[in-house]
Amino acid sequence: MRRAGLVLLVLLVVALAATAQLIDIPDGARLRELVDQAGAAAPALFIAICAFGTAVFFPKPVLATAAGLLFGGGWGSALAIAGFTAGALIAFGIARGLGRDAIKGWLGERLHTLEQVFARRGVEATLVIRLLPIVPFTLANYGAGVTAVRGRDFALGTALGLVPSTVLAAVLGDALSDLGSPRSVVALSIWTVLAAVGLWWGRRLVTTTA
């Protein structure tokens, strides 16, 4: 039964990732139309969209950029972070329920070290993952669910780790679509620094915990 749960989890993740590639991503005009139609319920609707989109592999940068365009940099960032964190917890809960027990028996020495890092320093470990742009956000959410990280540590680490990238996307908008613009240079520079900090912090966590 434990192995069946893990197999089901893998199939679910693959199916969601494949489905996300087939979904037509609404443009800014369509999202603004939905927000206008929602009226006072627009913030709650956008949080729900971000939560659902996060759980089903919808591109997070698209939603973060839309947050800035629709609600402004500050308020939009707050709404996006709330929605992304909620979606991350949904994915985390699914993975924890389906795959955690099965994965425990397959931990090798190296994976056991990572398991200890997540168990003892869950907030920091989650923060490190969020700072590394090479780790897909939604995939990391499902992956964290099979580790020993506590739910509250995962939630806090996720919310804090989302701040830099989400604010960047909300404030700078589609800067990365024009790689020669000053805004894109600023965005890429900041993301490079964050990635370097994440790599250094991750190595330090593994070294001090092992």
Would you state the pLDDT for residue 20?
A: 61
Would you state the pLDDT for residue 184?
A: 65
26-71 residue pLDDT tens? 666 677 777 777 788 889 988 998 898 888 878 787 788 888 878 8
Enclosing domain of residue 157 = 2-209
Query: How much is the pTM?
Result: 0.76
Low-confidence ranges of the chain (pLDDT < 50): 1, 176
Count how many domains the chain has.
1
106-122 residue pLDDT tens? 555 556 677 788 888 88
The three state secondary structure string of the chain is CHHHHHHHHHHHHHHHHHHHHHCCCCCHHHHHHHHHHHHHHHHHHHHHHHHHHHHCCCCHHHHHHHHHHHHCHHHHHHHHHHHHHHHHHHHHHHHHHHHHHHHHCCCCHHHHHHHHHHHHCHHHHHHHHHHCCCCCHHHHHHHHHCCCCCHHHHHHHHHHHHHHHHHHHHHHCCHHHCCCCHHHHHHHHHHHHHHHHHHHHHHHHHHHHC
